[in-house]
Structure 1
Amino acid sequence: MMIGLFCFALAVLASPFRSKLRLEAENAVLRHQLIVLRRRRRGRVRLTNLDRWFFVQLYRRFPAILKVLTIIRPETLVRWHRAGFRCYWRWKSRPRGGRPPVETELRTLIRQMSVENPLWGAPRIHGELLKLGFEVAQSSVAKYMVKRRVPPSQGWRTFLHNHAPDVAAMDLFVVPTVSFDLLYAFVIVRLDRRDLVWINVTAHPTAEWVARQITEAFPWSEAPRYMIRDRDCIYGAVVTRRLRAMGIRDKPVAPASPWQNGFVERLIGSIRRECVDHIIVLGEMNLRRVLKSYADYYNGIRTHRSLNKDAPVSRPVQRTGVISSRAILGGLHHHYARV
């Protein structure tokens, strides 16, 4: 009781130093709190939205009214004020006509086009969208495109895909016979469709023989522009002159770097794993016949993961007919087709 009287005395002494408007605001808050308490029947005090609005408006102009609030906590009033501020600016920022919002599906499509085609600008993507039936402004396309900090450029996958048709690779590998003699198989593969262009066998490889194989593998109008090879001494001056005469640029890999000629190395690995490791070679003619049969299977039937499960010579999709099986290499592999 004494503490309450002491606080009242201090308030009376400090009242001359307060502004008249502030005192009126505090009196209005006190009177309104009394009205709310008289309105209460039982239980907690129930405040209406009008009551909240009244307290918030006074708090905006006279923050000192927090000292005379008793039926609500000061942090509650501050929370109401912030909520009202958010509602006001949400109302202030409401759409007032103009362009309709761009749909999420269209924004995703714009971003996809921008990522997949780094050389395309907003006009190019806008033209494609118009052809797809989307009515959108070019400025909206520019807004939702991927922002790049460096000039647009193609990726390595695109670069290699565009140059692969002009590149071929060649190599030799050894196959033992039943009498433990060594035969040499020569292969040439194109990097574009992984097709096995040429395969032949000899017991005595020479530079002249390799040069003749290159000539027979490529007619003059079908020669690649680049030929990748290792630094085997078998590729002598005769081979390099033949390549130059056919308009093919010789590209030897670095010493002891077979990974730089990975396409033909993978091909040789497939030939070993899927063919010669499972047969006993009787002689040169026998190996040539076996490799020729495998080359036909490899080019026209065998599916490749790098070609989206297609063969180098694309196989049509068969949806009707009875499935039949044909043995290849004596049953080492099979070809399934509909007839």
Structure 2
Amino acid sequence: MTPGTILRWHRRLVARKWTHPHRTGGPPVDDTVVALIERMARENTGWGYRRIQGELLKLGHQVAASTVRRVLQRLRLPPTPRRDTDLSWRRFLRAQATSMPACDFFHVDCALTLKRVYVFFVMEVATRYVHILGTTTNPDRAWTPNKPATCSWTSTTGQTTSGSSSATRPASSPPRSTRSSPARASRP
């Protein structure tokens, strides 16, 4: 007999002796209880986990405070002090979308000259309206920061937007846009 054989026998003995289901936690929470927890948390923003647990106990549902916390976290409802003043990033962006532009580059490869042309554009987040502010073959450090400051346009929401309050655009170079106004045919 080798020591490996004895260790193998011992592992088998322990595996046979200590077999049990590997189930963790309690039984799953009923969907009606989850709906009650969500409703109580949304309608009573000042109630914490313990208060919701107590109210559920009055209604005949025995649930732990940690279960209430887990359910609220799964529903993405914050704890009591932050629940009524929650300003999530998505809600902030929706509130600011009417005046928020987003800018970036995209490139176009020219088939004739074999050059890559970079296009600088601004998109109005609220309407997804795209304004093309300029093109260049070399978007270097001197060209890129000056482009938003020298361009201004009237957004589709009716607000005049510019990169700088003192920026002016010569009348000879109006801003280009991807949206074109429909042509009107004159009738005699």
Tell me the TM-score normalized by structure 2: 0.37
Q: Which has the higher contact order (CA 8 A, sep 6+)?
A: 2
Q: Which has the larger radius of gyration?
A: 1
Determine which structure has the larger helix proportion and give its number. 1
Greater strand proportion: 2
